[in-house]
Amino acid sequence: MTTVHTHDALTARAETLDAQSPLHGTRDRFTLPDGVIYLDGNSLGALPSAVPAVVGDVVHRQWGERLIRSWNESDWWSAQTRVGDAIGRLVGAAPGQVVVTDSTSVNLFKAVVGAARLRPGRTVVLTDPDSFPTDLYMTDSAARLAGLEVRRVHPRDAVAAIAEAGEDLALASYSSVDYRTGELWDLVAITEAAHAVGALACWDLCHSAGVLDIRLDADGADLAIGCGYKYLNGGPGAPAFIYVAERHLADFDQPLTGWHGHARPFEMSGTYEPAPGITRARVGTPPLLSVLALEAALTAYDGLSPADVRAASLSVTGLFIEALDALGVDLPLATPRDDDHRGSQVSLRHPQAFAVVQALIARGVIGDFREPDIIRLGFAPLYVTHVDAVAAAEHVRAVIADREFERPEFTERGAVT
């Protein structure tokens, strides 16, 4: 009877919180399959309901009927900066500083080389050893070409390492949220420390844009990159974005000098001259089906402030943790309980984490596994409600308490991003 009582109490509380949420009703802006609690929006965001009609229009009318004329008539030419500005509104960036282009990996390459050129003579780049691997690989590769030294220093030690590097430091490049644990780092402190020695800071917003109250301009970030297909819901492999603070734009000298970044691309000059402003971070012709799907997806944020989204995210993840406690699930949390140190996911540790994730998926609770022992559950507050959070906690309880994860069908390994 205790479980029933706990269920009823948690569900009642969840319903109240949902009703009072500033995001009440935003789930209706998404198309989700029945019977699914989708906690993997930090890997691939759900389908916003506005997307299919826009993609259909892009294919049939813009491409099929208008053909090449759509560069002007459908304003394809400004799509990347237009969508960049829309993302800018979610990450505290005034217009003209964000562009949608390429992948996060490619944009980090531009950022690292570009930062080194903004700080000539400085050779050290600091980054997190626990970064998402592509950040490490791309930083290493940029360093190899640009003659830099990469120091991998944990974010909690970054301020000290910045002071130690001093005037050798060109760039401190950190993610605001650890992709595995969901721990939130103090990028403001890292940025201030970098500025104190004359260096720059680059923020990786892959796990922050669209769920945190990021304030790039106000907090003095120099550069930022992020992903379009996670909490921004742009669709599989949606193009990424890059932010360059206004004060650096005129001197931002990025290494992937494609014709879409040229000041006057149709003059077909043989000499590269970067476009004024953030347009210079563009490279080749962008994948417009994906760019315009992302634009449509961002309308799911219409009328929502980043502060409201962040509050809802903390409320949902907080209730999920509370429900785990109440239900007696005693798995170690990899994610901080403290609101000030938690992104928008809750990660649990379990020696058979892979099988636990498979068992949850079989129950319709879709999360993902990360090496070595992480059950990663992302909460996209636009479509994951408090009621979902309580139901997800009950599924976790059942999988663990009934040892469902030991069933053979859940132990076979496959590739899941």
Residues forming the annotated binding site for pyridoxal 5'-phosphate? 104-105, 132-135, 204, 207, 229, 259, 285
Residues 40, 204, 222, 373: which is the catalytic one?
204
* Residues from 28 through 47 that contact a copy of itself (CB under 8 A): 31-33, 36, 38, 40, 43-44, 46-47
What DSSP letter does each residue of 228-253 carry, written as one string?
A: SSSTT---TT---EEEE-HHHHTT--
Residue 63 CB, shortest distance to a copy of itself, in Å, is 5
Q: Of 69, 156, 403, 407, which one interacts with a copy of itself (CB under 8 A)?
A: 69
Residues 30, 38, 109, 132: which is the catalytic one?
132
Q: Of 71, 246, 311, 341, which one interacts with a copy of itself (CB under 8 A)?
A: 71
Residue 253's Cβ-side half-sphere holds a number of Cα atoms within 13 Å equal to 8
Is 266 annotated as catalytic? no
Distance CA 222, CA 202 (A): 6
* CB nearer to a copy of itself: pick between 301 and 354: 354
Contact indicator for 84, 98 with CB cutoff of 8 Å: yes
Residue 41 CB, shortest distance to a copy of itself, in Å, is 9
Size, binding site for a copy of itself by CB under 8 A: 91
Q: Is 111 in the site for a copy of itself (CB under 8 A)?
A: no
Q: Which of 75, 41, 369 is nearest to 234 (CA)?
A: 41
H-assigned helices in 243-365? 246-249, 288-298, 306-326, 353-362
Give a three-class secondary structure readout of 351-391: CCHHHHHHHHHHCCEECEEECCCEEEEECCCCCCCHHHHHH
Contact indicator for 304, 26 with CB cutoff of 8 Å: yes
Q: Is 154 in the site for a copy of itself (CB under 8 A)?
A: no
Is 180 annotated as catalytic? no
Q: Of 9, 19, 59, 160, which one interacts with a copy of itself (CB under 8 A)?
A: 59
H-assigned helices in 75-196? 79-88, 104-118, 133-146, 158-165, 187-196
Contact string (CB under 8 A) for a copy of itself, positions 260-279, x = contact: x-x--xxxxxxxx-------
Stretch that binds a copy of itself, among 17-25, 59-67, 182-190, 299-307 (CB under 8 A): 59-67
Residues 119, 230, 310, 370: which is the catalytic one?
230
Is 330 annotated as catalytic? no
Contact indicator for 148, 116 with CB cutoff of 8 Å: yes
How many residues comprise the chain? 417
Q: Is 26 in the site for a copy of itself (CB under 8 A)?
A: no
Q: Is 123 in the site for a copy of itself (CB under 8 A)?
A: no
Instruction: Give the residue ranges of the annotated binding site.
Output: 104-105, 132-135, 204, 207, 229, 259, 285
| Tokens 């239900």, residue located | 327
Q: Of 164, 197, 217, 259, which one interacts with a copy of itself (CB under 8 A)?
A: 259
Distance CA 155, CA 74 (A): 44
Contact string (CB under 8 A) for a copy of itself, positions 371-410, x = contact: x---------------------------------------
The 10 Å Cβ neighbour count of residue 406 is 12
Is 354 annotated as catalytic? no
Indicate the residue type of 118.
L
Q: Is 104 in the site for a copy of itself (CB under 8 A)?
A: yes
- 10 Å CB burial of residue 361 (0-12, 13-18, 19+) is middle
Residue 201 CB, shortest distance to a copy of itself, in Å, is 21
| Tokens 């994610």, residue located | 335
Q: Is 258 in the site for a copy of itself (CB under 8 A)?
A: yes
Query: What residues are labeled active site?
Result: 132, 204, 229-230, 376
